[in-house]
Structure 1
Amino acid sequence: MSRFRVFFLLLLGLLLAGPGYAQQQPATPTPKAEPTKPRKLSRKERKELARRAALDAASRQRVNLSEKDRELSESFFVDGVRFLLLEDYNKALERLLKAYALNPTNAAINYKIAETNLLSGNLRDATNFALAAVKLDPQNAYYYLLLAQVYSSQKQYEEAIQTYTTLIKVVPNSGPYLFNLADLYMAQGKLNEALATFEQAEQKFGPLDEVSFKKQQIYLKQNNLDKALQEGEALITANPDEVRYVLAQAQMYATNNRLPDAIRVAEQALKQDPDNPRAHMILADVYRQQKNSQESERQLKLAFESPSLDIDNKVRILVDFIKQLPNPDLNQTAQELAAITTRVHPKEAKAFSIAGDIQTVSGNRSAARSNYLKAIRLDNSRYQIWQQVVLIDAELSQVDSLLLHTNQALELFPNQAPLWFYNGVGYQLNKQPTKAVKSLEYGRKLATDNPELLAQFDTQLGDTYHELKDYPKSDAAYEAALTFDANNAQALNNYSYYLSLRGEKLERAKEMAGKLVKQNPENDTYLDTYGWVLYRLKDYTGARQQLEKALKTTTDATVVEHYGDVLFRLGEVDKALAEWQRAKKLGGASSLIDRKIKDKKLYE
């Protein structure tokens, strides 16, 4: 015998040595043994076992080969298997086909060629070679399994079912494959066949928990609730210490509107495991269906108190609450659940984030920001949370916080245009227009693919350039904003008002202010702007009408002072003086108000 032949047989002996696997054909159990379902192998274990079987089969030749051809065929085969395990399918197929050319009636070679073709996506050749392998060695279970897999990959489920059926019938000790067959029947919706196959497996191996669960699924799909519940009760009886079976039964009762039974079984679960969150969740849902909101909330809070109800489940429940908020009947409960979540999961950023979301929707902005900042301290990588903090800063007009948080966020997210926008707004509100322009212009470059945001930048730049007295840039920015949205209220109001102060383009200012008032006839700010534009055009009667409308809803000192100026132009000096005095008393009038009152004269 050649040295290669000795080496090959030694290698084969080593590969076939060692402990058995659960997927190998089991010995017939003795009557006293506890029936159990064979353990399912991992993918790695199945591949290793199949490799051993293939090598074993390859050592048995069906045709008379010369010693040289035998060695050459075995060499190609071993090389092919090695490349297959390395997932180099082209080289594997090349070697295996050379082995096949020398020995085409070898079942193991056909099997490995079929497997390689399956893995590389050539299903037609995989089918042909798998069929050949089964024909050449009809007692090898692995060949049937591969053939069934090839058929399933092509959605030829009837052929796959027939392959499993033949395997179980022809190959001794193939009972474990009843489970594969039953699962295939279930996947095809052949529920009666699946049920019969599971029952056949139970006759062979005894009651199995997994089979009971699958039979329950079948009964439920068949709308046979009683049978499904019977399976559940049998599971509980057979496993009295397994609370998961009790919970599954309670859930089934609840899902099928058998609410008193659901409560009974869920409470049974709590006797076994008093802090079980799932039992409390089932009870919370049942009591909700029974319109017992107080008890439902109590059970829900008990579930939330449990650390074993993971944070993701709690977040999902709180998200459902958010969809129903704001709601006076739910606000308090949602906030209490959020508070429990942050207390039970103090190191989870998402706990504080969802609490912030609930408080935001409920209108508690300060508390929301506090929770968002706690979330950021635990995990500062989520831009959406920073965005929420910045928005709240802006809504609360807390300029110092706005600048602090936008600057911190921009260190992490320098390419986020909205952060630059609010950073610029913060500097503008803080009377730092030069820094504001710098931030706004930089952010504007990042917003070129977002026309709406770009228009917001342009509007804000219009305001900021006006403060810097760079009027050409201010006007250009406003015009750009209005090109995108001709009804941009901030741009229409501020642009027309600033033009009136400068006494420039007054007809354009009148057009914009008039359009805005037409769209918002009761807005006192817009009425004041329109009135002042008319004043600058010397239409004092028109200005008076607009300002008197504005004064119905505002006591703003600027509007009152403007009204006094109009009255003075109309020759009503005493009334004008009274309005100036009122404006001074209100606070916030112009720096000229004292001279106007003292001299009873208009200064502009």
Structure 2
Amino acid sequence: MISIKSFIWPCICLSLLVTGPLYGQKRGKKDKKQRQEQTTTALAPKKEDPRDQEASESFFIDGLKFMMLEDYPKALERFQKAYTINPVNAALNYKLAETIMLMGRPNDAVSFAQAAVNLDAANPYYYLLLAQLYNNQQRYDEAIKTLTKLTKDIPNTNQYLFNLADMYLAQKRYDDALKTYDQIEKQYGFLEEIAFKKQQIYLRQNNLDKALAEGQNLIASDPSDARYTLVQAEMLANNKKPDEAITLINQVLQKEPANPQARLMLADLYRQKGNLGESEKNLKLAFGSPAMDVDTKVKILVEYIRQLPVPPAPANPELESMALELAGMTVKAHPQEAKAYAVAGDVQAITRKKKEAQASYLKAIRLDNSHFKIWQQIIFIDAELMQTDSMIVHSEQALELFPNQAMLWFYNGTGHLLQKNPAKGIKSLEYGKKLAVDNAELQTQFNIQLGDAYQALKDYPKSDAAYESVLAIDPNNAHVLNNYSYYLSLRNANLNKAKSMSEKLIKAHPKEATYLDTHGWVLYKLKDYAGARKYLEEAIALKKDADLLEHYGDVLYQLGEKEQAVQQWVKAKSLGKGSELIDKKIKDKKLYE
């Protein structure tokens, strides 16, 4: 069997064109002197003045030099000067056509290519250029006629039948393509590439029998090559013949039990038939095969990830178990592949195994730290698990690689705020905010944190400005309505505004203890002690909290219920928290503010 990998359009390069298209003669090894003599012969018109002949040759050679330098305008200028002296030279017309085509003017090149063919009908390169120009202009019929004439009239041009067949195929002239493939097979014998192309044509013509027959020819050409059998099985599967496909696949597995492609196909066929047990068994065998590459495994796991329910949707234990097992097998088989750990982390994260996901992602970046999304996932998990130290460390490591990612500055700044270091937090947040200038949503998140940070530093004008920036875009932002109103109450500043914001908040969230506490405390600052008591009692019914109980005690004290107030202070103290004055209040049984 002859193996011919492919035939393609000849590359238009100078070395080929000097030895081929210039002269239209039998090509072989020639020394420099011979080539020079041939150039002269090709360019010499009959009865031409020797001086004109010399000038024409000079312009032509200069043109070739400029083509080598890819200076096509200068090459064209030289060729045109040669053309004015000798317009009936085939090689010169060819070079003019080629140069004009390379300058992006294929329409103008056609006439010169046609002239080259007319002047020298024995040079295949002239036909090929003309066909290419027709093809580029979508003049497909003319391109086909040109190639047909080339392969029919010029000896030893059978290799261009491949080009002709591809053109028929592109035009969906399937019968003509098949006839051309038959011609090729007569010349070269059975070829794998041709058999596959004929298969595809038969399938497009809905002629399954002939496609399968071509597949049998492939199998018969090399029974030891499992690919042919698996392609045949795939055709059967795609045409609703799963049982026949399974039979063929099992034939492959008898010889190659670990063949991962066969196992994957079998897994898919059994899944379609509803036999999930056999499907999962074959899928695991495929994943266990060292011959199965990591990219294929990752692709399959990504499909599992798409099917896994995202929280808060109910879990699917069977699907999750299978995905986790396959992810574990992938990591075990490819311990030095970052993508194996990354996809395992994705599976673990979506199945609520955050710590395992965190460990997988960290292993992935140790092998390859260039993927921002993996760093992002690590930092998200740090935040979710409230691992503030890790969030700061990981965000700083990521910022060394991705200093222009605003999100990293956000989490770094937030981490410093949680660590009671507002000055560092502000530095990161202000820098990141500048990077997020085109992202309104992220700008809002930065301003929320900056409002809290500047409040912690008692820079109240900047804190208020940050909060106001958020409310201008999102007037119902619960975090800002709560914190802004509460901090105003602590400062005894603009209490009516604080009341308006906290009222809005509890109307939207009537069962949120923290918000009820805030509203109650604002009313307390406004000396509406009865109103404050009402909302604080509603909050205590929902949650027991040291700050809340201390606030409730302060209200009771103002209402004259001093003993009950002390009891609430003691309860607050028992929770291990409270204000700096809690011990003094309990000891003296007196309110201090």
Shift of 1:248: 1.5
Q: In structure 1, what residue type is equivalent to 2:585?
A: K
Partner of residue 513, structure 1: 502
Aligned partners of 1:69 and 1:269: how far apart in 2?
72
Aligned partners of 1:43 and 1:160: how far apart in 2?
15
Shift of 1:39: 5.8
Aligned partners of 2:12 and 2:121: how far apart in 1?
23
Partner of residue 217, structure 1: 200
Shift of 1:101: 2.0
Aligned partners of 2:404 and 2:183: how far apart in 1?
64
Aligned partners of 2:20 and 2:433: how far apart in 1?
68
Partner of residue 29, structure 2: none
Cα gap change, 1:46/1:307 in structure 2, threshold over 3 Å: closer, same or farther? farther
Aligned partners of 2:224 and 2:65: how far apart in 1?
48
| Equivalent residues of 1:528, 1:550 under 8 A apart | yes
Shift of 1:508: 0.7
Do structure 1's residue 250 and structure 2's residue 243 form an aligned pair?
no
Partner of residue 370, structure 1: 359
| Equivalent residues of 1:63, 1:103 under 8 A apart | no
CA distances 1:449-478 after superposition (whole Å, capped 9, x unpaired) = 222222222211221222222222222222
Do structure 1's residue 55 and structure 2's residue 44 form an aligned pair?
no
Shift of 1:54: 2.4
Partner of residue 313, structure 2: none
Partner of residue 532, structure 2: 543
Aligned partners of 1:43 and 1:547: how far apart in 2?
86
Deviation >4 Å, runs of 4+: 34-39, 41-47
Do structure 1's residue 488 and structure 2's residue 455 form an aligned pair?
no
Aligned partners of 2:401 and 2:157: how far apart in 1?
60
Shift of 1:62: 5.5
Shift of 1:242: 1.6
Do structure 1's residue 171 and structure 2's residue 154 form an aligned pair?
yes
Partner of residue 134, structure 1: 117
Aligned partners of 2:60 and 2:220: how far apart in 1?
54
Cα gap change, 1:581/1:132 in structure 2, threshold over 3 Å: closer, same or farther? same
Aligned partners of 1:246 and 1:472: how far apart in 2?
76
Partner of residue 154, structure 1: 137
| Equivalent residues of 1:510, 1:534 under 8 A apart | yes
Larger mean CA deviation between 398-407 and 476-485 belongs to: 476-485
Partner of residue 25, structure 1: none
Cα gap change, 1:85/1:300 in structure 2, threshold over 3 Å: closer, same or farther? farther
Q: In structure 1, what residue type is equivalent to 2:47?
A: N
CA distances 1:458-505 after superposition (whole Å, capped 9, x unpaired) = 211221222222222222222222222212221111111111122221
Aligned partners of 2:292 and 2:170: how far apart in 1?
32
Shift of 1:308: 3.7
Q: Secondary structure at the match of 2:336?
A: coil
Cα gap change, 1:64/1:243 in structure 2, threshold over 3 Å: closer, same or farther? farther
Name which of 421, 432, 435 aligns with 2:424. Answer: 435
Cα gap change, 1:314/1:505 in structure 2, threshold over 3 Å: closer, same or farther? same
Do structure 1's residue 40 and structure 2's residue 7 form an aligned pair?
yes
Q: In structure 1, what residue type is equivalent to 2:247?
A: R
Aligned partners of 1:101 and 1:49: how far apart in 2?
25
Aligned partners of 1:490 and 1:128: how far apart in 2?
75
Cα gap change, 1:160/1:41 in structure 2, threshold over 3 Å: closer, same or farther? closer
Q: In structure 2, what residue type is equivalent to 1:112?
A: K
Q: Secondary structure at the match of 1:552?
A: helix
Q: In structure 1, what residue type is equivalent to 2:511?
A: E
Cα gap change, 1:516/1:43 in structure 2, threshold over 3 Å: closer, same or farther? farther
Do structure 1's residue 305 and structure 2's residue 288 form an aligned pair?
yes
Aligned partners of 1:444 and 1:183: how far apart in 2?
56
Aligned partners of 1:388 and 1:37: how far apart in 2?
49
Aligned partners of 1:272 and 1:102: how far apart in 2?
71
| Equivalent residues of 1:217, 1:228 under 8 A apart | yes
Give ranges in structure 2 of 5+ residues lacking alignment.
25-38, 310-315
CA distances 1:100-141 after superposition (whole Å, capped 9, x unpaired) = 222211111111211111121111221101111111122222
Q: In structure 1, what residue type is equivalent to 2:105?
A: N
| Equivalent residues of 2:21, 2:125 under 8 A apart | no
CA distances 1:270-327 after superposition (whole Å, capped 9, x unpaired) = 3333332221221121122122223222322322333443333322222222212234
Partner of residue 463, structure 2: 474
Larger mean CA deviation between 252-261 and 392-401 belongs to: 252-261
Shift of 1:171: 1.7
CA distances 1:151-196 after superposition (whole Å, capped 9, x unpaired) = 0111111111111122222222333222211111111122222122
Q: Secondary structure at the match of 1:329?
A: helix
Shift of 1:44: 5.0
Do structure 1's residue 271 and structure 2's residue 254 form an aligned pair?
yes
Aligned partners of 2:5 and 2:384: how far apart in 1?
64
> What root-mean-square deviation, in Å, do the aligned CA atoms of Structure 1 and Structure 2 show?
2.3
Q: Secondary structure at the match of 1:201?
A: helix
| Equivalent residues of 2:165, 2:177 under 8 A apart | yes
Larger mean CA deviation between 518-527 and 336-345 belongs to: 336-345
Shift of 1:401: 0.9
Name which of 402, 419, 442 aligns with 2:408. Answer: 419
Identity across aligned pairs (percent)?
56
Q: In structure 2, what residue type is equivalent to 1:344?
A: A
| Equivalent residues of 2:21, 2:126 under 8 A apart | no
Partner of residue 168, structure 2: 185
Give ranges in structure 1 of 5+ residues lacking alignment.
1-33
Partner of residue 498, structure 1: 487
Aligned partners of 2:433 and 2:203: how far apart in 1?
59
Q: In structure 1, what residue type is equivalent to 2:254?
A: K
Q: In structure 1, what residue type is equivalent to 2:400?
A: E
| Equivalent residues of 1:390, 1:402 under 8 A apart | yes
Cα gap change, 1:515/1:78 in structure 2, threshold over 3 Å: closer, same or farther? same
Do structure 1's residue 240 and structure 2's residue 207 form an aligned pair?
no
Cα gap change, 1:345/1:38 in structure 2, threshold over 3 Å: closer, same or farther? closer
Aligned partners of 1:78 and 1:292: how far apart in 2?
73
Aligned partners of 2:211 and 2:141: how far apart in 1?
28
Aligned partners of 1:309 and 1:471: how far apart in 2?
62
Q: In structure 1, what residue type is equivalent to 2:170?
A: A
